Amino acid sequence: MEAPIIQAKNVDVFYGEKQALSQVNLDVFEKQVTSLIGPSGCGKSTFLRCINRMNDLIPICRFEGDLEIDGQNIYHPAVNVVALRAQVGMVFQKPNPFPKSIKENVAYGLKIHGLTNSKSSLDDRIEWSLKAAGLWGEVSDRLDEPGLSLSGGQQQRLCIARAIAVKPRVILMDEPCSALDPIATAVIEDLINEISKEFTIIIVTHSMAQAARVSKRTAFFHLGELIEVGRTKDIFTNPSNEKTQNYITGRIG
């Protein structure tokens, strides 16, 4: 098997005195979807937010251990968070487009990182991103309208377009469908399948059906510990741990 792109080694995370993650060891492989499941408060979102260091924003949050992307420890003092986040994009639980036009939403990452050098290449990249996010057909004639005028599902796809516009290596998704209806959810799930050909995706989800549908590998977290990780098929049909068994059959969580 190929080498993992992300390797977590003995990761501990504390919020003040409270330990949120203990001794997590997890490998994530390139260009496939890995889903993180588990009951609320199990630490799956915390782990996700460690990968692009969004937890740095919480003053009381403390990280210990090793988290490597491409063999580089991203918590090394020499690592620039801005450069890290340009490579590790994120899609949030609630769609949060900027209160600006659709175009400006997608263009923002490109502009701040200086990734395009002409107006036409910027427009090309915006079109590419919106097409990749399956939104181009719906918004191509109204790029200057505010992003907030779109429906919830469209907004979430706009956020995905915004994240992939800068072509990151990894995209983190924190329950991206929890605020959407089943039809919009289905659209996003198809989209995740589609873009996983080009990006490494880690998705946190509460829906086991969703994890089963979209991901190749699944990791089950419980009370801050990584209980089990493996191929999604194996986890859902033949879990090796009793806790996983209980969770996926609905006895805990």
Partner 1 sequence: MNNTINFSKSTSFNLPKRGQSEFRFQIIGIGAILLSLAFLIWLIITVIFGSMGAFKHVEIAIQVDLTSKNVNADDVNSTSFGSIMKSGLREQFPDVKKRKDKKKLYKLISVESSLELKEKVLDNKDLLGQKVKIWVSASDDVSLYVRGKIDASLPEDQRKITDKEISWINNLGANGQIRTKVNWGFFKNGDSREPEIAGILAALVGSTLSLLVCFILSFPIGVSAAIFLEQFAPRNRLSDIIEVNINNLAAVPSIVFGLLGLSIFLGYFDLPRSSPLVGGMVLSLMTLPTIIIASRASLQAVPPSIKEAALALGATPVQAVFHHVFPVALPGMMTGTIVGMARALGDTAPLLMIGMVAFIVDIPKSILEPATALPVQVFLWADSPERAFNEKTSAAIIVLLIFLIVMNLSAVLLRRKLEQRF
Q: Give me the residues that bind partner 1 (CB under 8 A), please.
A: 52, 54, 57, 59, 82-86, 89-90, 92, 94, 96-100, 108-109, 112-113, 146, 148, 159, 162-163, 166
- Residue 62: CB minimum distance to partner 1, A: 16
* 168 three-class SS: coil
- Closest CB to partner 1 among 130 and 166? 166
Rounded to a whole number of angstroms, the minimum distance from the CB of residue 170 to partner 1 is 12
Q: Quick count: other Cβ atoms within 10 Å of Cβ 53?
A: 18
- Identify the CA nearest to 7 among candidates 36, 38, 29, 35: 29
Q: Which is nearer to partner 1, 98 or 128 (CB)?
A: 98
Q: Are 135 and 161 in contact (CB under 8 A)?
A: yes
Q: Are 148 and 155 in contact (CB under 8 A)?
A: yes
Q: How far is CA 116 from the centre of its chain?
A: 24
Tell the smallest beta-carbon distance from residue 100 to partner 1 (Å).
6
- Contact between 91 and 48 (Cβ < 8 Å): no
Nearest CB to partner 1, comparing residues 166 and 248: 166
- Cβ at position 99, least distance to partner 1 in Å: 4
Toward partner 1, which CB reaches closer, 104 or 228?
104
